[in-house]
């Protein structure tokens, strides 16, 4: 075996050269890997005794793509295109041997080989779109030449990882070799290729499938139309589509030029920078300073939930989905029955849509038991209280649980607002108490705020993060403060939306600006959807607020056909003259002169105070890092991923701009706009949130 460099070895198995990459964790195409590939192929081609070349990887995966951390830095090492040309033009058959995942640039390298073999558990995909990019190493030109245009469009715009068997059926892989025997299987395949004198298949030369779609723009028009909602706001899907169009309409080398140009545009743009930031943020959110990865955790084999309402039921489904038995406790049989039947109905609906079998429905509902006695939670490893927000009720439950549940278990609360230190203080084991703040619908929403209280132990935190991963959530560890991280920032936006309405903006103006920014809906449409009467008490309502007046008129949101908006029978919203009049009357009564408010001002007024609040959260140590706040807002509140989260957005537009506006508004409207000290410091030092070091 010859070491080509630190990450590449070249060896021979008879007359077959085996080039092995070993660059943990995922064999990404770093400069060293590209250099190793270039030199390895050069040597293997130059060696007259070599008849074919197998490319294989050590570790858990084949090449998982370009090294994302290299984007935006000065280029180093061999060019990927030169490496691919060397492979494709090799006079000896080149065979990629795939295990784990061949993704992005990894699959593009494999597509530059003449043949591909894979083990059954391998998967292939072009997931660049998920980081705001397109496959920039020939993937958009080669993929449709193998799998056809429709399939290629689907793959590049979804980023899906396709299992080996499906790859074989599509022709993306030429042979499946036995699991665990990749190297030998690939060498045997190479020998077969040599013995049978199979041709040096260059994907770039097979034009049949792209020609079949030539002159049929309707394929692309339909694809764009069918996916318009999904792609709204994102640049990368459209750019990917344009590249596939180029593959159809242009010769290979011309198509490559289009691909390169569009890749360059995306990789230097804000959207991809934001999506790459999110890629790394999603991975760093699990790392907790002071709690090493090997912290002893508590095995969670049985979960107890107190409350069979919407939250309790949704939370229970998460655990049942992961195969963990759950007991739900309610006070009344009727409420328990209702809760359990909602869970069953949810599962059955999923089965109707074909995403679960009836067998799964039975298995999962079978894991969820109901009970009327807290005592039945005695042997649970984790209990989650999910009753309504009332401190006395919660304290009472925790006092009781403390006397019932076995020692060593975790006692969690799903509160979204109450002080968890106070809840913990009624137990004799505050170290076991933590917040697990699920978002509604709890079985769907990906975010979990894990709220550490003053005395929560490291084992309880580590277990909570681990269990979050197990049930498919993305968890951010936050501290106790009003609203924690997500709702605390939301309160800023809500306040500004209401204030703007009193200054002259209509709900639909504000909603439109935030929708165009990329949110799925604005705050008023959201209120209409949720129901304006949440927390509204009819008997106590005397027209004191716009909401009161709307509710008193039975305009309680979508469910009554009217709220801030009017709704038709298909629930399409229309600006309402009734609401407009109510607002105008309020404004007149308050003595304010309504003014024309620009879209720019609406955006700044709703978004900048959120960024400022995020800075205060960081300053107080209630979130570990700015990117954790981004994760909360992207996964819990629909912040558009292509804007990277509020903190990343602040960095993108410039923190000096945010600070200047906060100062201006503070002078005009008071201390609700007081800039955070951290924001002031970062601007003074010319830094961004991203530049903050841990603990700074
Ligand atoms: C591309 O290829 C562009 C080309 O078309 C054009 C070029 C001209 N780079 O996810 P994990 C790190 S774009 C750098 O926890 P898993 C990751 O940050 C790329 N680092 O493991 C983490 O680090 P840490 C297209 C990367 O087993 C560690 O590896 N490819 C990269 O759950 C482990 O990752 C993609 O978009 C990378 N490409 O999942 C694929 N990938 O330990 C992106 C990972 O310090 N990768 N890291 O936190 C993935 O989807 C998953 O990582 C994978 C493994 C499925 C491979």
Q: Hey, what's the torsion of the CAs at 543, 548, 553, 557, to 10 degrees?
A: 170
467 plus 518 within the same structural domain: no
Q: Is the peptide bond before 25 cis (omega within 30 degrees of 0)?
A: yes
125 plus 25 within the same structural domain: yes
Task: In whole angstroms, give the CA distance from residue 31 to residue 149.
Answer: 32
**Beta-ladder partners of 212:** none
**3-state secondary structure at position 424:** helix
User: Would strands 573-575 and 565-567 be described as parallel, antiparallel, or unpaired?
Assistant: antiparallel
pLDDT (average), residues 169-191: 98
Asked whether residue 436 is assigned to any structural domain, the reply reads: yes
pLDDT at 74 over 90: no
Q: Is 26 in the pocket of ligand 1 (CB under 6 A)?
A: yes
pLDDT (average), residues 602-617: 98
Answer whether 132's CB lies under 8 Å from 642's CB: yes
Long-range contacts of the stretch 591-596 (C-beta < 8 A, 24+): 592/502, 592/503, 592/504, 594/503, 594/504, 595/503, 595/504, 596/504
Asked whether residue 644 is assigned to any structural domain, the reply reads: yes
Task: In whole angstroms, give the CA distance from residue 205 to residue 145.
Answer: 8
CATH number of the domain at 521, please: 1.10.1040.10
**3-state secondary structure at position 623:** strand
73 plus 154 within the same structural domain: yes
251 plus 373 within the same structural domain: no
What is the pLDDT, as a whole number, of residue 154? 98
Asked whether residue 293 is assigned to any structural domain, the reply reads: no
Task: In whole angstroms, give the CA distance from residue 164 to residue 148.
Answer: 17
Query: Torsion-angle region of residue 483: left (phi > 0), alpha (psi -120 to 50) or beta?
Result: left
Q: Which residue, 540, 568, 590, sits at the end of a domain?
A: 590
283 Cα: distance to centroid of ligand 1 (angstroms): 10
Alpha helices in 620-654, H assignment, sequence order: 626-637, 646-653
Asked whether residue 562 is assigned to any structural domain, the reply reads: yes
Question: What does the mean pLDDT of the chain come to?
Answer: 97
573 plus 616 within the same structural domain: no
263 plus 327 within the same structural domain: no
pLDDT at 696 over 80: no
pLDDT grade for 231, boundaries at 50, 70 and 90: very high
How does pLDDT run across 303-320, given as a tens digit for each residue?
Answer: 999 999 999 999 999 999
450 plus 545 within the same structural domain: no
Active site residue 249: no
66 Cα: distance to centroid of ligand 1 (angstroms): 8
Q: Is 67 in the pocket of ligand 1 (CB under 6 A)?
A: yes
Residue nearest to atom 53 of ligand 1 (CA): 64
Q: Is the peptide bond before 448 cis (omega within 30 degrees of 0)?
A: no
184 plus 57 within the same structural domain: yes
Task: In whole angstroms, give the CA distance from residue 667 to residue 674.
Answer: 9
Q: Which residue, 466, 481, 496, sits at the end of a domain?
A: 481
pLDDT grade for 245, boundaries at 50, 70 and 90: very high
560 plus 681 within the same structural domain: no
Comparing CA positions, the residue from 564, 583, 584, 582 lying closest to residue 574 is 564
pLDDT at 503 over 80: yes
30 Cα: distance to centroid of ligand 1 (angstroms): 12
Q: Chain-centre distance of CA 625, in angstroms?
A: 17
Residue-range definition of the domain harbouring residue 526: 506-590
How does pLDDT run across 390-414, given as a tens digit for each residue?
Answer: 999 999 999 999 999 999 999 999 9
pLDDT > 70 fraction of the chain, expressed in percent and rounded = 100
106 Cα: distance to centroid of ligand 1 (angstroms): 11
Q: Chain-centre distance of CA 42, in angstroms?
A: 40
Give the ligand 1 atom nearest the CA of 284.
48
Asked whether residue 494 is assigned to any structural domain, the reply reads: no
Residue nearest to atom 32 of ligand 1 (CA): 283
Asked whether residue 276 is assigned to any structural domain, the reply reads: no
Asked whether residue 68 is assigned to any structural domain, the reply reads: yes
Tokens, residue 586: 């309020």
CATH number of the domain at 426, please: 3.40.50.720
Residue nearest to atom 44 of ligand 1 (CA): 26
585 plus 613 within the same structural domain: no
Domain count of the fold of the chain:
4
What is the model's pTM?
Answer: 0.95
User: What is the C-alpha R_g of the chain?
Assistant: 29
What is the pLDDT, as a whole number, of residue 115? 98
CATH number of the domain at 249, please: 3.90.226.10
- Using the CB atoms, write b or e for 109-146: b if 16+ within 10 Å: bbbbbbbbbbbeebbbbbbbbbbbbbbbbbbbbbbbbb
What is the pLDDT, as a whole number, of residue 1? 84
What is the pLDDT, as a whole number, of residue 695? 62
Asked whether residue 272 is assigned to any structural domain, the reply reads: no
pLDDT at 694 over 90: no
Give the ligand 1 atom nearest the CA of 66.
2
pLDDT (average), residues 508-525: 98
Task: In whole angstroms, give the CA distance from residue 669 to residue 449.
Answer: 32
586 plus 607 within the same structural domain: no
How does pLDDT run across 125-149, given as a tens digit for each residue?
Answer: 999 999 999 999 999 999 999 999 9
Mutate to test the pocket of ligand 1, among 21, 29, 68 (most ligand atoms within 8 A of CB): 68
Catalytic residue, chosen from 39, 58, 70, 108, is: 108
DSSP 79-116: -HHHHHHHHHT-SS-EEEEE-SEEETHHHHHHHHSSEE
Task: In whole angstroms, give the CA distance from residue 397 to residue 423.
Answer: 9
309 Cα: distance to centroid of ligand 1 (angstroms): 39
Tokens, residue 159: 């980023």
How does pLDDT run across 328-360, given as a tens digit for each residue?
Answer: 999 999 999 999 999 999 999 999 999 999 999
Residue owning tokens 């943020």: 281
Helix axis angle for 31-46 and 80-88, nearest 10°, is 30
pLDDT (average), residues 194-208: 97
Residue nearest to atom 1 of ligand 1 (CA): 66
Q: Which residue, 217, 241, 267, sits at the end of a domain?
A: 267
What is the pLDDT, as a whole number, of residue 73? 87
Active site residue 431: no
Q: Is 652 exposed, middle or buried (0-12, 13-18, 19+ CB in 10 A)?
A: middle
240 plus 333 within the same structural domain: no
Q: Is 550 in the pocket of ligand 1 (CB under 6 A)?
A: no
């Amino acid at each position: 075996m010859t070491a080509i460099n630190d990450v590449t070895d070249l060896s021979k198995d008879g007359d077959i050269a085996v080039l092995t990459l070993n660059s943990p964790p995922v064999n990404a195409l770093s400069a060293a890997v590209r250099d190793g590939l270039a030199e390895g192929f050069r040597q293997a081609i130059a060696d007259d005794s070599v008849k074919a070349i197998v490319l294989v990887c050590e570790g858990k995966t084949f090449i998982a793509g370009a090294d994302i951390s290299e984007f935006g830095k000065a280029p180093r090492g061999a060019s990927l295109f030169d490496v691919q040309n060397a492979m494709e033009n090799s006079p000896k058959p080149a065979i990629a041997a795939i295990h784990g995942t061949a993704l992005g640039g990894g699959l593009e390298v494999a597509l530059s080989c003449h043949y591909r073999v894979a083990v059954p558990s391998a998967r292939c995909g072009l997931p660049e779109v998920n980081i705001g990019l397109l496959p920039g190493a020939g993937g958009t030109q080669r993929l449709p030449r193998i799998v056809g245009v429709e399939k290629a469009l689907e793959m590049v715009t979804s980023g899906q990882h396709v299992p080996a068997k499906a790859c074989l059926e599509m022709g993306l892989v030429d042979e499946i070799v036995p699991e665990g025997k990749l190297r030998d299987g690939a060498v045997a395949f190479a020998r077969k290729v040599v013995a049978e004198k199979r041709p040096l298949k260059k994907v770039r030369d097979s034009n049949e499938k792209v020609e079949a779609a030539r002159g049929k723009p309707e394929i692309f028009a339909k694809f764009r139309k069918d996916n318009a909602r999904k792609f709204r706001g994102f640049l990368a899907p459209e750019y990917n589509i344009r590249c596939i169009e180029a593959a159809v309409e242009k010769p290979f080398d011309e198509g490559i030029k289009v691909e390169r140009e569009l890749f360059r545009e995306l990789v230097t743009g804000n959207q991809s920078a934001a999506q790459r930031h999110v890629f790394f943020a999603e991975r760093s959110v699990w790392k907790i300073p002071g709690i090493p990865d090997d912290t002893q955790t508590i095995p969670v084999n049985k979960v107890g939930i107190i409350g069979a309402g919407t939250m309790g039921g949704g939370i229970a489904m998460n655990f049942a989905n992961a195969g963990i038995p759950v007991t739900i406790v309610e006070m009344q049989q009727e409420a328990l029955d209702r809760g359990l039947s909602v869970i069953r109905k949810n599962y059955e609906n999923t089965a109707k849509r074909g995403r679960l079998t009836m067998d799964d429905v039975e298995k999962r509902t079978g894991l969820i038991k109901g009970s009327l006695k807290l005592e039945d939670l005695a042997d649970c490893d984790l209990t989650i209280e999910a009753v309504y927000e009332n401190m006395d009720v919660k304290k009472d439950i925790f006092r009781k649980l403390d006397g019932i549940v076995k020692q060593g278990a975790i006692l969690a609360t799903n509160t979204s607002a109450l002080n968890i230190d106070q809840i913990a203080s009624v137990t004799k084991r505050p170290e076991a108490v933590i917040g697990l703040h699920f978002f509604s619908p709890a079985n769907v929403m990906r975010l979990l705020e894990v709220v550490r209280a003053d005395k929560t132990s490291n084992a309880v935190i580590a277990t909570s993060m681990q269990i979050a991963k197990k049930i498919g959530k993305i968890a951010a560890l936050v501290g106790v403060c009003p609203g924690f991280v997500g709702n605390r920032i939301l309160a800023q936006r809500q306040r500004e939306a209401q204030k703007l309405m009193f200054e002259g903006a209509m709900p639909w103006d504000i909603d439109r600006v935030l929708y165009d920014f990329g949110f799925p809906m604005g705050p008023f449409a959201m209120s209409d959807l949720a129901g304006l009467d949440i927390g509204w008490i009819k008997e106590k309502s005397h027209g004191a607020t716009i909401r009161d007046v709307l509710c008193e008129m039975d305009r309680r949101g979508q469910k009554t056909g009217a709220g801030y908006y009017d709704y038709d029978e298909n629930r399409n919203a229309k600006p309402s003259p009734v609401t407009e009049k109510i607002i105008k009357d309020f404004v007149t009564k308050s003595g304010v002169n309504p003014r024309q408010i620009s879209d720019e001002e609406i955006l700044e007024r709703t978004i900048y105070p959120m960024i400022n609040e995020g800075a205060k959260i960081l300053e107080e140590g209630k979130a570990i890092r700015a990117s954790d706040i981004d994760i909360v807002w992207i996964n819990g509140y629909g912040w558009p991923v292509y804007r990277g989260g509020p903190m990343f957005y602040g960095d993108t537009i410039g923190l000096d701009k945010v600070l200047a506006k906060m100062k201006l508004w503070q002078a005009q409207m008071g201390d609700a706009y007081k800039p955070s000290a951290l924001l002031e410091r970062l601007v003074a030092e010319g830094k961004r949130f991203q530049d903050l070091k841990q603990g700074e």
